[in-house]
Each structure stands twice: as structure tokens, then as C-alpha cells.
A and B are shown apart, each in its own frame.
Chain A
């Protein structure tokens, strides 16, 4: 679901890798390729070559960048992924990153690598920053679980340490500031400190990355140092680190970054992270690292799910052309995700990749053949029958929002502090106009009446629909019930006019009803009743109280009734 901005010429360069660059790829071709990454073209500026692309798959952070999109298309064209050497090699004397004790309480994990030989261009820098932001924001849940820093390598002396310090013991000049600040000052003053500070809210000691000369690199996950942590156009030696709370997510994020930089021509050198205690991957963790494990999938499962016989060879070919490492056996395939992906939860995830790699158009639709009986629920049938009757009685159907305001549903109806005025309220209110669910229908009808004094009279309106009635005995705290409400407004309307309509409705619904006098704040005293069926209350009827009309600024007499169809249905 992230939307990213990339440039067409940048994408074209990445598509071809080394060798000749193809320019001027037609947009139609591009849109078809985007199917491979579940991408949708949202905008295109032909002059600048800017493309806005929405990536749907929230489990594929590797696709939220120009490099990732290009990679997926490139693999399809070349038939397989060209392996990244740095995942396989074990460097003889790697740089070290030392994690000091205590980090497990705050932000336990870190991964890092260096990238040399890619000279950062203006567009490349914009992409680096965008990828860093999207990964930390969406995949890293607003930096809570993952955040990323990029630095100029030449200013760093290894080993780098990742440790805890007292908030006032370390000072450095953060990005975006002119002067040195302590960590507590950054949290109080710096915009990023204010935005992401809450992640560290309960901590008395704060994390810091420093090099061997004790120069601060950054205060993760808040902000980088301005001296070392600001990458500029023209830099060609970079240091990348990822910190976070989940080791696999941290390493995966670094893998993505490393692959992206490698695709742009950088040589990646892994860094060895040394933890004080064992992690699930041991005490010394080389990063980037391929965490993928091959899974064996029965051919039958794939073919059953896709509804088509494919055979091992075809499945192998399809998966390889989607980046997998595959070996086919009799009746099954063994598939391993590329190291920049970690989204294989179930064999069905592989099945979808087979279908996408082959293209959905390769599958011929077949109608489900099994016989089923269609039908409407009992309440919908009752509601439809009531609606037909109201139409026959000359009423115009209306339809309204269910989410509204206490002003509409309660105060406007003179129901403050009464049982009738209780509503299901929203906790995280955005606008008072949409802050509670309607508990009855009459306000929805008055909403139309209040806006329609110029529409010719008489007005006869009805609505059938759901309401939410607060009910402490119900497991959801409220009951959703279907009601029908009707209103008549004109200069000489009166109780018996609406009573006649109720009478007809009840007659044809086959319900014997009676009215008993009711004191209800929304209606005129002595002109309101409770509708009883088999002795049980199922609704109200009456002349709407003039004060209610005044509150809605309606200057026409209004009579109305409301019947709870759910309760009526329960009475058999």
C-alpha cells in the first residue's frame, strides 16, 4: 500500500543492468510489467519522467523502491535471479560492530554493511532516502521495529559500538540543526525527537551508535549525526545500518538495502555484529545474511489450488523466473525465496507466485459447478415486504448515514439523559458530526425533512435500515436491529393520519397491534403511543414535539412512527 515516486529513466537503467540501456519503454508495456509487483500506476509526468506507483503487497517491502520493481521485472525477463555474491561469501577480516550489554532492554538488534563503488547521484539519493523512509515508516511501524541509517564510510573508524548511554552524557550535532545537543535535548527540541521520542519513552538509558573514536554516528531510531550521517551527491563509500526490535526484520531490511545498492553498482562488504549473549542466529551475526530456508511443496497442492496440471518443470521455470531458487523432485518442488524476501508463510504464497509469474491470463476461467440454493434472510424479507407496503402507502424511501452526531440522535430529539437517548459512541472521534451510531430512525427522517421545506408537500418519507441499540447484556455492548420508520409532514397532518398508515402496515404484516399511551420527550404528550404486539413493545408513534421541530428548524407539523422489525420477527 505504499505509494512511491520513481523516474522512468532510472527504472530503465536498472532494468537492463550492465550493457545496453533500453530507453523509451512504452507505458502500456510498463503497466503490464507492474502486474508482476502488484503495482498500480497512479500518475505519470511525461516531461520529467516521474512515475507514481502504488504497491499493494504490504508483505513485500523489497518492492517499495525503484530497484525492487526493476529487479522483479528483470528476473522475469532473464528467467532467473543472478545471485548476489555477498550473501554467500564469508569475508576474511570483516568490520565489526559491537553490541554492548543492556541493549536487549531497549532496542536489541542491529545489522550493517558497507557499500563502495557506487557514486551517489541526485536521483539515486532521492531513492535511497525514499526507501529508507518507506521501510522504517510502514515495514518498521513508524521506526518502532525497524529504522535505518546511512553514513559516509570514510569518516568512520571501526569497530562501531552499539550501546546505552545516559541522556545527558553524549552530545552531537543532529541532522537539521546547527549546534551540538545532548540526547535529552534532541528528544525535547528536535522535530524527529518529538515525533519518534515516544518509542523510547520509558527508557532511562538511550541507545547510541559510536565509532572507535567515540564519534556518535546516530541516536537510533531518532536521528543521525550531521557530521557522519549526512550522505551527499557524489559520495561513493557508504555505511548502512539497521536497528530494531526483531532480528529477522532488521536483517531483512539490510538485505533489501544491500541488494538495492548492489543493483546500482556498489560492492557490498558484510559487517560482523558481535552480541554479548546468544541470539537465535548465534553470538556473531554476519550481515547481510540469507535467512531463507527451502520449503518442499507437493505438486498436487499447487495443481489443486490452481485447478490446472502444470508439471514440475513448468512450476520450476515459473518460480525461477520470479526469483526463487528451485530444485524439482518427483511429485514436489523445493523452493527457496531470494534473500531480500521473507514473506513465505504458507505454501499458498508460493502458489500465487507461480500464477503471477505465468500471468493470470494463462489460466482459463471455469464456472464453479456445484449447486446451491440462494435466498434472503428472514429479516431482509420482512424488511422488503414492509418497504413494498410503505411505497404502496405513498411514501418516498430515503437512505441515510448511520454514523451521526449526538446533536441529531439525542439533543435534537429532547432525549438528553434518557434511556432513549443512549447511543453507541466512537472513542477516537474525528468529527463530532460522525461520532455515534443512530439508535433509532426518526432523526434520519427529520434530517431530510429539515432540508426539504421547499420540496412540495405533503412529505411522506420512510427508511428501513439498521440501528445500534446499547445493551449491557449483549456481548458486543449493543444490538444491531433492523427498523422501519415513517414520517408525514404537511400543514394539516395529525396523529390519525399516521395511525392509519401503521394500521395498514401491521394488517398486511399479519401483526395484531395495540397502542398504549406513552410519555416520550420527542412527541407531544397525549399524542404519542407505544406500539405493542403480543403485549411486547415494538415501536413508537406520535405527533413530533414542536420543540423538536424547532431544534431541527422545521416549520411544518410532523407525525411519525417507527417499528422494530427485528423484534417483530422474533414474535413469530
Chain B
């Protein structure tokens, strides 16, 4: 017997050899995970990623080399691992967005026995979670920040899904702190990136009104509000100068934001009663030395000194160089705007230098380019070893699923009860903590509100909308239903039967990959969400619907849980408050009101 067969057990070994799994994300965790999957002998492995390789990936994503920069991550990993594909696993890389329903229709997803998430963003995670719910396939979720990492096996409708626990949104700061009274490096970095850089080089929407309203909600200081609005208007002027090559754009900008604006701020005395007064830069005094620095070719090396703190002059130098470079890119017409990207040297240099100069003005310690890159990129540095540890657990935790013969869809046998979520927690007496999986949350916006399944519709022999309504009612036991296509398009209810005689294929928007929601008019049974798949058969998924948890009970539960929030952002449309109605409005009402 081969050793791998011995460790895994002969039956499990065979199942793993003959199965097909999906890995979403081929970055830090993905590289490690793919190595583990291959060396455990998984028969077929598909890897999907939409990113290309950047320089900053190389020090922790061990499958990538210098020569791979700008190449597709997914296509590169599947090639790189051939070096040690000792088990002859079949590998397929897909360069693309996992949320692309044309490239990755639900039938494609259905070929996999397990889905492994190695993603770094919430939106894609939510989408993959939803696919797992539709298909009732096990999903292994993972994430790391710094020394912290976690894995969570998800068995749809049996254990907690990705959305059962509300996710923390990134911290925001009051506008006034950012714009008038910063006291920490993060305030200056946020100002440089979100405000200044955005105003000058990013795509702009007109938000003057919003701005005033937000400011008014934060401060009563008229003088401060007017001053901040004036600053913004003047910046808009400067933005126009970006398009004029040869203009004194850089000099004027620096003069305005680090001298004129600050002098004005100093004059608003109400701001400085308990704070240290900022000190405007005296550019005239610095001009001579700055010119010398600008003329010296060797000054270029400052730009790559990313682990030492730049001096005031060095920051000015970097800012001017970044401004010139950005102006060139935009005025040449190559790019209409340059959104901030931590991996774009010009935009990063701009933000680092501007944030540091502002720090100097407000008596805050400046930071190194390396540090600001981490902060501005909202990243706690990913640590290769954490990824390695977590990827080991990802594969280990998937193994029990292959202990048993495949069962019917959605039936995971005893595996969910014996599986655990694992997270690193480094203590003197342990390194990780494992916890049993929880039941799905009754308040979960993804898995508690509706049952899910795939609705197969034959392109040759499609039913009329009326027929479809009758089939659905009969199959699942609804008395009356409403059908909503996509986010909010009502296509049928008892009072709206205009389409019943038409084939569903003639209903605009009834296409593969679109979602169709079924709502119970009597509010007894839970909602049903179908993923529409046009093909060569008519078929409805086998599902048993749960009784609806009434809104009132939910509110009660919510209060007990201490969140006090209804539905926790369950549906996109905002809740409509209607004093006339005694019952809380149903979801359908909400959607209908929006359509009207």
C-alpha cells in the first residue's frame, strides 16, 4: 500500500483520487492550499483568480517568481505546481471573476464535491457562499490577518454559513477629524488618500450637497464648515490644472494645502482651545534647499528608501515627483484618472509624502513608506507562515467529508457534528483553538430567509409563466405566490397577471444566471430563491420548505441577542415605515413600493 493511502485510509484515498474540487483565489492562502491539495492527491483541482501577479506577492506566495509578474495568478499556479505534481492530479486554471455567470454558470459549479475559499474580499466570499447554498455543497472558508487565521467548514443549511455572523466593516473617522483636526498618523493618511488624492486624480462624483449635509451633522461650527467647503472648491480649480502641461501645478498645490489652508485653519480659534495649533510650512524658506534636491539626479534613490522615515525636504521632493508623474499620465490623455492603488508607485508616493507633510504640520510623527503602504492598503501585513498553517488546516478539515460514501444533495451525514472551525490563538499552552460548528442563525440574511435551488427550464419546451406559477405552488405547497426576478422586478402576483400566458423565455430578464425569488402571499412558508438555468430540461429542485419565522418573533429574538436590529440588512430595499399598517410590512411590500 502506498503511504498516502495508508495515512488517508484506502477508501477515503480512492474517493479523494476520484473527486474534483474548486479553489477560489490563488494568492497567499491559495498557493499554500494548492500545494497541500496536490500532495494529498485530490484527483482534479480547478483554480480561479482574476488577479495578476505583482512584485509584492513574491515574498509570501511561493509559487510565483520575478518572471511571472503581470501574468495571471490562476494560470501561473497550475503550471508552477507541475514541478511537484507527483500524484498526477488534473489541474485547471481559470483566469476570471468567479462571479461571472457566463464563464462560471451553476452547472460548472456542480461538478465539484468541495469548494475551498482562499479569497481576500467580502463580495466574492458572499457570492461563493450563495453558490454553495444553491447547490448545497460543502464550502471551506478561510481568512488570515497578521498572526490571526481561521478556517470554517460550511455545510449549507446544517451549520452556520458565511453570513450567519455579521461581518465587521472597516473603521471610519469623522470628517472634521480628518479635514481639520488630525491627531494620529492614520488621520493624515486617510486625508491624503481618501480626500486629497481622490479629489485630484480619481473619478469624481458631484457631492457638494452631501458634503455640506455630512459636515452639518458633525459640527455646529459655521466657520469651520464654510472653510472646509471653500477648500474643496479651490481643489476643484487645481484639478483642472492637472490637464495643463507645464503649469505650476505642483508648486501651487503644495503652497495651497500646506500653507494657505493651514493658515486659515489656524485662524479658526475655536478649534485650538484644547489642541496644539498647527504650523504651516514656510515654503519660501525651504525653496532653496528643495531646488538643490530636485536638481540632483541621485535624489531618485529617496523614492525606494521605503523603510526609513523621510525628512521634510525628502517628503516635499517625493510629492513633487509624484505630482509631476501623475500629471503627465493624465494630461497626456493616456489615463483619464488614476484611482489610488497601493501597488501604483506614483499614487502611493503621493499619499505617503502628503500624509507625512500633513503630519509635520500637525506635530504628528511621520511614518515610513512601508508602514503607510500597509495602512493605506487597509492591510495588516499578510504573514506567509500564518497562511501556511491555515492552509494545512483547510485540507485537514475537509478530509472527514470523504470518509463516507456520497449521499443525496444537502445530506452531509454525521460530518457536520464532528467538524470544527479552527483559529490560531497563540498562548503559552496552545497554538490554535477548535470549536464545534454552530447551527445556522435564524437571522442570517443569506441562509435563513429563503430556501434555494436551481430551476431548470427547457429552451425548447419552456412553460408559460402561468404554468410555472402553478407548478411551483403545487410542488412546494404555497397557496398564492409572487415572483420577483433579479433584485426587484415583479413579474407575477395575484394582482399582476399580465404575463401569465407568455412563455417564461419571453419575460425580459429571464436568463441563465439570474435569480428568481418566490414569496408566499400568505406569509406562511419561507421564501424560495431559484437560480435560473436554461438548458434542455424542465426541473424543480427537491426541497422541503420551512415555516416562516414571524417578524415579531424575530424582533424578540433580536432583542434577546442584543442587536436590536431588524433583519440585519437582510434585503437590499430599505424598510418602509408605515404607521397605518399594524403588521410590519412584508418583504414583498417593500419591494413593490420600490418598483412604484
Query: Are A and B associated in one complex?
Result: no
A residues in contact (CB < 8 Å) with B: none
Interface set of B (CB-CB < 8 Å, partner A): none
